[in-house]
Amino acid sequence: MSAAMKQTPPQGPPPKPFQLPATTDFTLTNGIQATLVPYGAVPKVAIRAFISAAAVNEAAGQVWLSKLNAALLKEGTRTRSAGQIAREAAEMGGQIDISAGANYTSVGGVVLSDFAEKFIALVADVIGAARLPAEELPRLRGDLLRDLSIDRSQPGSLARERFLSTLFPNHPYGRVYPPESDLKGYRIEDVRQFYAANFHAARTRLYVAGKLEGNLRGAIEDAFGAWPAGTAAPELPVAPVKKRSLQLIDRPDAPQSNLLMGLPVAAPSSPDYIKLDVMNTLLGGSFISRITANIREQKGYTYSPISQIGTRPHLAYWIQAADVTTAVTGPSLHEIFYEIDRLREAPPSGDELHGIQNYLAGLFVLRNTISPDAIIAQLHFVDAQGLDRGYLSRYVRKVVEVTPDDVRAMAETYLVPSGMTIVIVGDQARIADQIAPYA
């Protein structure tokens, strides 16, 4: 079709806001906070507990101890074997998922609504009556050792480890991988001490979302009410580094360089955070972003560059990643900084911003309609960040209200080149001269 025959597509309707259903919130006498939220007509329900017991609670010589604890939680309770737990969950139409992250261990799953009360009891048993069997320790520790070996062989993992250790020095957020000798030395007593010190009712938040049936509040009180209160999670001070540094991890003969760069930005509680989200999506956080158009579409330096805003409770950081051909490592850095500087100096056009706003607003609504577990993830985000629940219902409107000048101001205020941490994994012999100007 010739250019003269092309027609401008009609403008779509404005993005629809996401409406959070009314929630029921209550706190048990032992401190467990619970939220019930009706969602959808499909007879399924997501039930998930978040316990403030994770990597942030590990000492310097305990990295991945929370992961080992999470793996052992699946291996049976004082009343159920691991096989019984799996069978009971399967009979309810789901399974028990357990994972340990930076700040929380998550325990739960999605089952048929008819079994919501029984699944609540099962989750409570897994959390509160864990057996942590010593006989399973060697196997699970071996699994983590294999995971560690695989991760340490991946250049992207090495770049992420160095980036976070630079951003969060001497803090659990900066300790990504344990030394192999530490992991091999973890004893069952170490796991049980971690569990006893951190798995308390006062550190637990429970969410139930979906087609709600039965006396769920009563089921929660019966299942969790007798769990000892324990102590609230301690606040661990953190001060991320905002200082220019260039770090190279040599990977001889590597055909590509793995780039990571970023710095701390405003926390989700800041009035700037949603504006930052829009700015990031326009700059590098989407397939239609400027950095992607530059170094992927126009120059072919990389296949899938991406930027994002990482969060922890009450803080955030911006990060740009790109795996680029070795020969264009320096030019890739040049073009990324060029796009940052360009946005710092001049606002985007209204049409460019409008497309990004529609994309971001639509993606937000879509994510929240995938499953009741997605609603739980959003609720947990706002609760962990100390935001009010209205944040979710206001999000689309706030995105649409962002102006081109707001986008430029966010880039100018927060994406300060002199504060960037830059980490590169690649062939030092071939890229050292290319990257020298960015030290």
The domain spanning residue 328 has which CATH number? 3.30.830.10
Q: Assign 10 a pLDDT band (cuts: 50, 70, 90).
A: low
Last residue of a domain, one of 160, 189, 224: 224
How are beta strands 421-426 and 245-250 bridged, if at all?
Answer: parallel
Q: Residue 77: helix, strand or coil by DSSP? A: strand
Q: Is residue 382 in a domain?
A: yes
How many Å apart are CA 133 and CA 210, to the nearest integer? 34
- Domain boundary residue, one of 224, 255, 276: 224
Q: pTM of the entire structure?
A: 0.93
Please indicate, yes or no, whether residues 118 and 177 belong to a single structural domain of this protein.
yes
Shared domain check, 355 and 266:
yes
Q: Tens of pLDDT along 199-257?
A: 999 999 999 999 999 999 999 999 999 999 999 998 889 999 999 999 999 999 999 99
pLDDT of residue 194: 98
Percent of the chain exceeding pLDDT 70 equals 97
In a domain, 7, yes or no: no
Same domain, 211 and 259: no
Cα distances (Å, whole numbers) of residue 384 to 56, 201, 267, 375, 377: 14, 16, 12, 14, 10
Two structure tokens written together for 328: 């264009």
* Residue 186 domain boundaries: 24-224
Among residues 11, 86, 5, which one has the least CA distance to residue 354?
11
Written as one letter, the residue type at 190 is: D
Phi, psi of 124 (to 5 degrees): -60, -40
Phi, psi of 252 (to 5 degrees): -55, 140
Identify whether 10 is part of a domain: no
For residues 148 and 267, membership in a common domain is answered with no
**Predicted confidence (pLDDT) per residue in 144-177, tens digit:** 999 999 999 999 999 999 999 999 999 999 999 9
Pair (318, 432) in one structural domain: yes
> Per residue in 99-152, pLDDT tens?
999 999 999 999 999 999 999 999 999 999 999 999 999 999 999 999 999 999
Instruction: Classify residue 386 as left (phi > 0), alpha (psi -120 to 50) or beta.
Output: left
Look at residue 44 and tell me if it is in a domain. Answer: yes
377 and 254 part of one domain: yes
- Are 289 and 343 within 8 A, CB to CB? no
β-partners of residue 27 are 33
Q: And the tokens for 54?
A: 């994770």
Judgement on whether residues 209 and 72 belong to the same structural domain of the protein? yes
Closest alpha carbon to 280 in 385, 400, 407, 391: 407
**Rounded Cα–Cα distance for residues 151 and 146 (Å):** 9
Q: Which amino acid is at 247?
A: Q
Are the C-beta atoms of 132 and 192 separated by less than 8 Å? yes
**E strands within 266-382?**
306-312, 315-325
Could you tell me what percentage of the chain is helix, strand and coil, using 3-state DSSP and rounding each to the nearest 5?
A: 50, 20, 35
Query: Which element (helix H / strand E) includes 27?
Result: strand 24-27
With a CB cutoff of 8 Å and minimum separation 6, the contacts of 184 are 141, 145
First to last CA, the chain: 48
CA 219-34-201 angle, to 5 degrees, is: 90
Last residue of a domain, one of 224, 258, 289: 224
Per the listing, tokens 């970023």 go with 262
Asked if residue 367 belongs to a domain, the reply is: yes
Residue 169 backbone zone (phi > 0: left; psi -120 to 50: alpha; other: beta): beta
Same domain, 67 and 210: yes
One domain, residues 300 and 367: yes
> pLDDT band for position 1 (50/70/90)?
very low
- Among residues 106, 88, 104, 86, the alpha carbon closest in space to that of 46 is found at 106
Does residue 411 contact residue 235 with C-beta atoms inside 8 Å? no
- Residue 17 falls inside a structural domain: no
In terms of domains, do 297 and 157 share one? no
Answer yes or no: is 109 within a domain.
yes
Are residues 273 and 198 located together in one domain of the fold? no
Between 46-55, 282-291, 363-372, the lowest mean confidence (pLDDT) is in 363-372
Residues 189 and 329 in one domain: no
| pLDDT tens for each residue of 376-431 | 999 999 999 999 999 999 999 999 999 999 999 999 999 999 999 999 999 999 99
Mean per-residue pLDDT over the chain, rounded: 95
Task: Give percent of the chain above pLDDT 90.
Answer: 91
Over its C-alpha atoms, the chain yields an Rg (Å, rounded) of: 24
In the block, tokens 């060697």 appear at 138
Q: Cα–Cα–Cα angle for 323, 248, 435, nearest 5°?
A: 75
- Report how many domains make up the chain: 2
- Residue linked to tokens 């990482």: 310
231 found inside a domain = no
